[in-house]
């Protein structure tokens, strides 16, 4: 499941800083949103989800914010660590069995 993308947007942060990864979704009818993390050579891994009746949800070191007005989703990672380096995908679902994934953002953590 390697996502090697020469054209992926890249966010470079210093270890210990907070990271914010943004995602714009397309379907105003989507009611469920998920963030996935994909490390090199691996399949995506679920991080956190949020339903459209919420605007914020917190996990361990991660927070997802949802702004339905502008169809925007963000993932905040507190105290970013080298192990957080990966490609991050947002995904949306608007009923049915299909998740629609965004194009991904590469997070690089500098030691």
Contact positions vs other proteins (CB under 8 A): 1-8, 32-34, 41-46, 49, 89, 91, 93, 95-104
DSSP letter for each residue of 3-16: ---TT--EEEEETT
CA distance 14 to 102: 25
Smallest gap from Cβ 21 to other proteins, in A, equals 14
Nearer to other proteins, 12 or 18 (CB): 12
Smallest gap from Cβ 10 to other proteins, in A, equals 12
Quote the DSSP letter at residue 104: -
Nearer to other proteins, 9 or 16 (CB): 9
Nearer to other proteins, 5 or 82 (CB): 5
Smallest gap from Cβ 31 to other proteins, in A, equals 10
Q: Is the dihedral of CA 87, 2, 8, 103 positive or negative?
A: negative
Tokens, residue 87: 């490609």
């Amino acid at each position: 499941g390697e996502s090697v993308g020469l054209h992926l947007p890249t966010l470079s942060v210093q270890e210990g800083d907070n990271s914010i990864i943004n995602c714009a979704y397309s379907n105003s009818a989507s009611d469920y949103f998920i963030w996935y993390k994909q490390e090199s050579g691996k399949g995506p891994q679920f991080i956190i989800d949020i339903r459209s009746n919420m605007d914020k949800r917190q996990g361990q070191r991660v927070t997802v914010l949802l702004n339905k007005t502008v169809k925007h989703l963000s993932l905040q990672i507190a105290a970013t660590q080298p192990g957080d380096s990966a490609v991050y995908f947002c995904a949306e679902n608007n009923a049915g069995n299909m998740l629609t994934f965004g194009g991904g953002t590469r997070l690089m953590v500098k030691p």
